Every structure is written in C-alpha cells, then in structure tokens.
Amino acid sequence: MACKLIAFDLDNTFLYDADTVSAANRRAVEDAAAEGVISAIASGRVFTSLPASALAIPSIRYAITSNGAAIYRLPAPEKRLGDNGDFDKARCFRHAVCVHRVSLPADRVEAIMKVLEDYPSDRYPVSFETFIDDRAYGYADYMRRPTRYGLSPAYIEYVRTTRIMVEDIRSFILEHKNHLDGLDLQVGDPALTQELRQRLRHEVPGIYITSSVPNRIEMANEKAGKAAGIRYLMNIFGIRKEETAAFGDADNDIDMIRAAGTGIAMRNGTASCRKAADYVTKPCREDGFAWAVHHRLGITDRLAVKEKFMRAALREAKKAAAIDEVPIGCVIVRDGQIIARGYNRRNRDRSVMAHAEISAIRKACRALGDWRLNGCTLYVTLEPCPMCAGAIVQSRIDRVMIGSLSDKSGSCGSVVDLMHVKGFDHQVETESGILGEECAALLSGYFRSKRKN
C-alpha cells in the first residue's frame, strides 16, 4: 500500500538539535512530496516555537502542534518568503491558518494547579511553561536558571528565545485558565517527575498527559494528542490508516505511532516508544527518518538514483583515462535505463567531435531511431562545452546532470548558459555537483600525472 501521509515528531526524530534539519532528512521530505505524499510536523511545541529550518521546507504542508491541541495549515511556499527571497518566519506565521484547536478546560487547569500548590518552586525544581494563542510563556526563574530545572543545554537558547518570561507564572496560569492550549512542567529531579506524573494522573482525570523528554510533563485537553492530529488529516484528505506513516522517539509520540498504518520509532527513542512501533529505524543522528522513508516506505531516493547514473558516467570517464584521454564520461538515461554511453576520444579519433556527450547522443539516437531525445536525461562528469551544449539543446534532451563545473568552457552557467536561452525553442533543466568531488578529483588527478610526465 503506497504511503500518502507522513507525520513526524521534530526533536530527536527529524531535528538534530533545537533547529537543525539534516540535508538527508530534508531531501527525504522532498522525495516524498515528489510522489504526492503529504508531510506534516507533529510536535509538542507550540506553533510559534516551531523551528525555521523545518518551516522553510516548502513540501511540509501541515503542523500538528502542542501535542495535537492545535493543527495548522502552512502557507504556500511563496508566502513563507520575505522580499529578499529568504525564509521569513514572521510572514510564514502570519499566513498560516489554524484549522483545529482544543483548549484545556478551566476546571482542569484549577485542579492541576491545586496539586502543584504542594510543590512551591522555591523549594522544588518545578517550572511551568504554558501556551496561549500560539504564544509560549515560561517561568522567569526557569529561564534564568534552566539547568536547575533539568533543561538540556542544547535547548537553553531555544527556550530563552521562544518563551515570554513571567515572574509569577502560577497566578498568570490561573488568570488565563480559560485560554490554555497546553501546560507543561519541566522538573529538575527524576523522582519528583515520577511522583508528579502519578499524582496528576490520579487527581486530575480527563486530561491528556504525556512527555516528550523524561523530565517533562505535558498536559492538554483530553481530545488532544498527536494521534488526534494525524486522524484529523486522514479525515480531511480521505486517506486510510494503511496509507499513513508516523515517526517519533518519545512517549508523546506513542499514540500517533499506533494510529498510523506504519509506526516508526527512532533507535534513540524511549523503550516504550520503540515497543509501540512496527519498525525501529536508525538513530536521529544517523538520519533514521530519511532511511526509513526510502527503505521502509519505499519512496524513491532521488539523490541515490542520480549518484548511481553519475557513477556509470564516471566509469566511462575512466575508459578515457585508460587510453590517455582527458577523463570525461557520459551516459544517457530514459525511463530509468541507460540507453547510451560515451567517453572522450578526441586524440584517438583525431576529431573535436569525439567528446563524450556527442558520442553518447549519437548512440542514443541510434537506439531510439530518432534524432529527438525528449524524455532523456544526460549525466556527464564535467559541465558540457558550447558544442555539446548545442547538441543537447538541439536533440531536446530534458535534463542534464553535471558532476563538476568547468570555468574554462562550461556552457550550463559557468562561462555561458546555453541551457536557458529565452529565444531558443527548447530549455534544458540542469543540476550540478552530483558526485562533484569525485568527478573533479578524476580530472585533477589526470592533469597532475600529465605534468609529472
């Protein structure tokens, strides 16, 4: 069953730290989008604390926030950018639409705060964060001395930049008891966290209570939960459970992992989270998210495909090196198959026309029985010269994948760009840097050995 919806936790699942998305995880989301899969963030964080690194990925379309207490539709990619074309967080927030929200009932807030009266913060390392209308508020002493409350050093900057400081947070919470999306406790002592969690579970029924990290207690409306978030998206898109996947690492991800057709836990996740999952992937730090997207959900790893074909072009280049020619190689691909190969034989053939690309284009035309190569992608280890670029445009090749760039004769943008000339009746998509270092090293190695001789 093909996957149509992916929901994923951020911290320690999709993000390396408070605000870093790896290139591999970003590509995996884009690969999924290329196959029509909808991607949604599913975080315990409040909406305005979501990291720029994730919101800037255009193919992420939804954000389940505050552990499912609020769900947002993210704006169209162009509405996330500022005038300079860079990601603009304020503009992204302005254009996002909250499509679903449930708040904590006021009497539940009162009941929670009643339990916490037994733990005054001057004697117990108990701090509060609360979320009202997408703003996060934090206890002032916790923001001044976060380590007293057990906050991981990697998150200190994040908390200080996203929370509004409140001195008397207990009174503040009670004053706003009608508007709380969520209420979190950060506790600097593991035994105390356990005790508090047990007391809250027993003495305050009818709330959703969970944890994203062991020394945190997160509370919301009983109808919240990341599972409610993923079900909401399944409903509006008419997607079945079997067509969904969810990723997480912590106890607040368990309900979502169970609600999805394929529940995936990170190897760095809690024991209970891993136990709830259908599949345990590599750790977050080893891009376990991207790995499972490609290897478990069956979404094509487009970079791996490109590298596979560039490797074939490199093998051609080595054939040129073996006969003492400048090592440049090329393959032409159609429908996922190599239909022609070529390598540089300029000296051997005593012809300037014996460039790798021209030779491959000739063979591709023979293979297809047509001079038109629409639907083909050409992989070449070095940016094409003007002659080859001309032949590429004339043969109507769709795409050119380039290994290393050439500042001497590169005609796909380095010296001149013949691939995107407005007046021409055919434009060619280009991408460079595929196995770029290997391609460049092969050439520089060749010229180095020439100089020695």
Report which residue's Cβ sits closest to Zn ion. Answer: 388
Query: Is 383 a known active-site residue?
Result: no
Least separation, in Å, of the C-beta of 411 and Zn ion? 8
Least separation, in Å, of the C-beta of 40 and Zn ion? 46
The residue (of 194 and 409) whose beta carbon lies closer to Zn ion is 409
The one catalytic residue in 357, 383, 437, 438 is 357
The residue (of 314 and 388) whose beta carbon lies closer to Zn ion is 388
Least separation, in Å, of the C-beta of 382 and Zn ion? 9
| CA dist., res. 122 & res. 108, Å (int) | 24
Least separation, in Å, of the C-beta of 394 and Zn ion? 13
Least separation, in Å, of the C-beta of 85 and Zn ion? 33
The residue (of 108 and 355) whose beta carbon lies closer to Zn ion is 355
The residue (of 224 and 397) whose beta carbon lies closer to Zn ion is 397
Least separation, in Å, of the C-beta of 70 and Zn ion? 56
Print the SS3 string covering the chain.
Answer: CCCCEEEECCECCCECCCCCECHHHHHHHHHHHHCCCEEEEECCCCHHHCCHHHHCCCCEEEEEEHHHCEEEECCCHHHHECCCCCECHHHHHHHCEEEEECCCCHHHHHHHHHHHCCCCCCCCCEEEEEEECCEEEEEHHHHHCHHHHCCCHHHHHHHHHHEEEECCHHHHHHHCCCCEEEEEEEECCHHHHHHHHHHHHHHCCCEEEECCCCCEEEEEECCCCHHHHHHHHHHHHCCCHHHEEEEECCHHHHHHHHHCCEEEEECCCCHHHHHHCCEEECCHHHCHHHHHHHHCCCCCCHHHHHHHHHHHHHHHHHHHHHCCCCCCEEEEEECCEEEEEEECCHHHHCCCCCCHHHHHHHHHHHHHCCCCCCCEEEEEEECCCHHHHHHHHHCCCCEEEEEECCCCCCCECCCCECCCCCCCCCCCEEEECCCHHHHHHHHHHHHHHHHHC
Least separation, in Å, of the C-beta of 388 and Zn ion? 3
- Is the four-CA dihedral 9, 129, 16, 249 of positive or negative sign? negative
The residue (of 260 and 385) whose beta carbon lies closer to Zn ion is 385
What is Dmax (Cα atoms) for the chain?
Answer: 91
The residue (of 39 and 377) whose beta carbon lies closer to Zn ion is 377
How many other C-beta atoms can be found within 10 angstroms of the C-beta atom of residue 99?
13
The one-letter code for the residue type at 178 is N
Q: Which residues lie near Zn ion (CB under 5 A)? A: 355, 385, 388
The residue (of 104 and 385) whose beta carbon lies closer to Zn ion is 385
What positions carry a catalytic annotation?
357
